[in-house]
Structure 1
Amino acid sequence: MTITTLPPHASEQPTESGFRHWMRLHLDLLPTAAAVVIFIGMIIYGEIAYGRIVQASTVSNLLINNAHLIILAVGLTFVILTGGIDLSVGAIIAFSSVAGVMLINAGWNPWLAVLIMIVSGSAFGAVSGILIQYYNVQPFIATLAMMFLGRGLASMLSTVPQRIGDDSPVRILAAQMKLIDGPKVNDLVVTPGVIIAFGIVIIAFFVLHRTRMGRTVYAIGGSEQSAGLMGLPVPKTKVWVYVISGTLAGIAAVVYTARLGSAQNITGIGWELDAIAATVIGGTLLTGGVGFVLGSVIGALVLGLMNVLITRDGGIPPEATTIITGGILLVFVLLQRAVLARRRE
C-alpha cells in the first residue's frame, strides 16, 4: 500500500500581506482615515494655491469659528452610533440663544441664563428620546417635530436680532487667549469656547470607550435586540443619547452666542445637516455601531477648512459650499456602503 504525503504547508492557504491583513481587521477605520487624508490634502492644496494656510492664525480661526460645530458633531456621534438621527439641534440653538439673550437683557443673572439655555436643550433632547423609546416614534419624525417646535418657539420669542451688551460676563467665553506670540498677527490664540469644545471631546471619548454606557451605545447600533438580550440598559441609554445631543446643542448655543454677541430666530438653520455631515465624514456609519468622536472632530474641521478655502479663492460662489459638502458626503456614504459590504464577507 502506497501512502502519498503532501509537501509541507501544501494544504495551507496563502497568507495575506501584512497591510491587507491589517486593513481587513481595521475596516472600521477606513472612513476616518479617508477623512484625515482629505483634510491633509486640503491643507496642502490651500498652501500651494493660496498660501498662508499652514500658520497659527489660520488654525486659531478654524478652531474658534467651528467650536460650536465640533460640539454639535460630538452630540450627533452618540445619536448616530445607536442608528438614530437628530434633526432638532439647529432649532435648539435658535431657541436657547434667543431665550438666553432675552433673559440676560431682562436683568437675569447671566450665568443663570446660560444654565437655562443648556437645560432647555436637555429638555428638547429628553422629549425626543422619550418619544422614540417609549412611544415608538421614528427618530426622524420625533426630532423633526422638535425642530419645528424649537424654531416656532424661537420665532414667538422674537423675530428681530437680540444683542447682549459688550460688557456682559458671558462675552468672556469668546475672549481670546494668546498661546503663541507669533510674528505680526500670526498668533496662536484660543477662546474659552474652544477649550469647552475640546473638553467635551475628551469627556465624550472617555464615555464611549471606557464606560458601560459607551459599550451599550455601540451595542445598540450593532444590534439593539442582541444588546437587550445581553442585559444592557437599552431603553435608558437610547433616551440618554438624545439628552446628550440636546444638552450639547444648548452648550453650542452658549459658545456661539458668546462669540457672535447676538441671537435671532433664524440662527442654526441647516446646522443639523452640517453636524450630521461632519459625523458621517468623520467615519460614523449611518447604520450605527461604528464611529469615533475624534473622527467627527476631523469631519467638522474638514467642513470648516472648506469654507476657509472657498473664502480665500474669492471666485467660488458661497452657494457652492453646499454642493461641495453634498459631494463629499456622497463619497463617504458610498465608502461606508463598501465597508459594510466587506464586513458582511
Structure 2
Amino acid sequence: MSDTLTPAEVRNPRAADEPGALERFRRAVTTNLAILPTIASLVIFVAMIVFGEISYGRIVQMGTISNLLINNAHLIVLAIGLTFVILTGGIDLSVGAIVAFSSVAGVMLAQAGWPPLLAIVAMIGIGSLFGLVSGILIQYFHVQPFIATLATMFLGRGLASLLSTQPERLPDESGVLWLATKWKIIDGPKVNDLVVTPGLLLAVAIVLLALFVLHRTRTGRTVYAIGGSEASAKLMGLPVARTKVLVYVISGTLAGIAAVIYTARLGTAQNITGIGWELDAIAAAVIGGTLLTGGFGYVLGSVVGALVLGLMTVLITRDGGIPPEMTTIITGGILLVFVLLQRVVTRARH
C-alpha cells in the first residue's frame, strides 16, 4: 500500500481524513435516528404518487394536487394541533367532537342571523374553551390525558347531538362560504387548473406559524423539553405548567379552525361530523415522524402524514375495486408499521 498523497491531499492535508458524501449522510442518519420515520413517510408519499400515476394516471396534475390540498386542509390543521400535544408526551382524543360541536353551533348561529365573522370567532372560541378544560384537568387535577380528552370528547359529541341531530345548512348568502371560494392560480387545459381557497391559505398560514413557534420561540423549546423529560424541564426553570395547558388550548383552537374550514367547504354541519378524525390526526402526526413518547417531531412531517392519508383515499377511489372500508384497514397497517419503526428508533437511540 502506497503512502503517496494525492494532489488534493497535498493542497489540503486534512482531505485524507474527511469523509465522503455517503459517509457524511450515514453519520447524519446514525446521529439523528429519530428522523427516519419522517424520511420514511416522505418516501411513502412519493412512492404513492409514482404508483398512482403509473396505475391510474392523472395523479401528477394540477387539478388532482389542488383537490388533494383543499380536501385535506382541515386534516392538516388538526394534525398540527396533535403534533403540539404529542410532542409533550400527551394525547388529545377530543378534536373530532370539537369539530362537530363547533360546526353545528356555528351554522346555527349563522342561521340565527349572526355576522359571519362572529360565527367564525364563536366556532374557534368553542375549540379553545374545550382545549382549556382539557389542559386544566391534565395539569392541575392530574387526570391522565387519555381520560381527560376522552371526557371532553363525549361532552362535545353530546352537546352537538343536543343542538341538532339533523344536518344543518349554512344560508346561501352566508359569508362563511367565502372561505371555500376557489381562486384560479394557473389556468390549465380543460379543468386541470391549479386552484386554492382562502381555507387552504389559512391552513398554510397555520403551518408556517406552527413552524415559527416550535423552532424559533421559547415556547417551542419548552414543548420539546417537556416531551424529552418533564422533570428536567422543571429543573431548568421552564414554564412547564403553563406550556402543558397551552398545547391543549392550541389543539382545541386548531380544531375549531378546522371546523370552520370544513364547514365552509361543505356548507353543512352534522352532529356525526368528525367521528374518527382524532385518530386520523394522530395517525398523520405519527406517520409524519412525531414520536408518541414525545420530544421529537416536525410540523412538516405531520403535513406529509396528512397528505399520505389523503392520497391513499384518492388512490382507493380511483381504483374503484377496493371497498372504502379498506381505507381504515390500510391506515391501521401503516400506523402499526410506523409505531414499530419508532420503537426500533427509540431503542437504538438508548
TM-score range, shorter chain: over 0.9
TM-score, normalising length: structure 1: 0.95
User: Mapping of 1:1-345 within 5 angstroms?
Assistant: 17-344=23-350
Amino acid in structure 2 at the alignment position of 1:266: I
Per-residue CA deviation, residues 40-60 of structure 1 (Å, 9 max, x unaligned), is 000000000000000000000
Contact 2:102 2:127 in 1 (8 A): yes
Amino acid in structure 1 at the alignment position of 2:68: L
Secondary structure at the counterpart of residue 178 of structure 1? strand
Contact 2:52 2:59 in 1 (8 A): yes
Q: Distance in 2 between matches of 1:22 and 1:160?
A: 54
Q: Distance in 2 between matches of 1:169 and 1:107?
A: 11
**Deviation of residue 284 (structure 1)?**
0.0
**Deviation of residue 166 (structure 1)?**
2.1
- Tell me the residue number matched to 1:11: none
**Deviation of residue 19 (structure 1)?**
3.0
| Moved segments of 4+, more than 6 Å | none
Q: Tell me the number of residue pairs that the alignment of Structure 1 and Structure 2 aligns.
A: 332
Secondary structure at the counterpart of residue 218 of structure 1? helix
Secondary structure at the counterpart of residue 184 of structure 2? strand
- Tell me the residue number matched to 2:7: none
Amino acid in structure 2 at the alignment position of 1:24: T
Per-residue CA deviation, residues 109-160 of structure 1 (Å, 9 max, x unaligned), is 1210110000010000000000000000000000000000000000000000
**Deviation of residue 18 (structure 1)?**
2.9
**Deviation of residue 20 (structure 1)?**
2.3
Q: Distance in 2 between matches of 1:330 and 1:260?
A: 32
Q: Distance in 2 between matches of 1:18 and 1:64?
A: 39
Q: Specify every segment of 5 or more residues in structure 2 that has no aligned partner in the other structure, as ranges.
A: 1-18
**Deviation of residue 167 (structure 1)?**
1.8
Q: Output the aligned Cα RMSD.
A: 1.4
Contact 2:110 2:171 in 1 (8 A): no
Secondary structure at the counterpart of residue 179 of structure 1? strand
Amino acid in structure 2 at the alignment position of 1:305: L
Identity of aligned residues (%): 76
Q: Distance in 2 between matches of 1:249 and 1:17?
A: 43
Q: Distance in 2 between matches of 1:225 and 1:26?
A: 23
Q: Distance in 2 between matches of 1:236 and 1:20?
A: 39
Q: Distance in 1 between matches of 2:60 and 2:311?
A: 11
TM-score, normalising length: structure 2: 0.93
Q: Specify every segment of 5 or more residues in structure 1 that has no aligned partner in the other structure, as ranges.
A: 1-13
Secondary structure at the counterpart of residue 17 of structure 1? helix
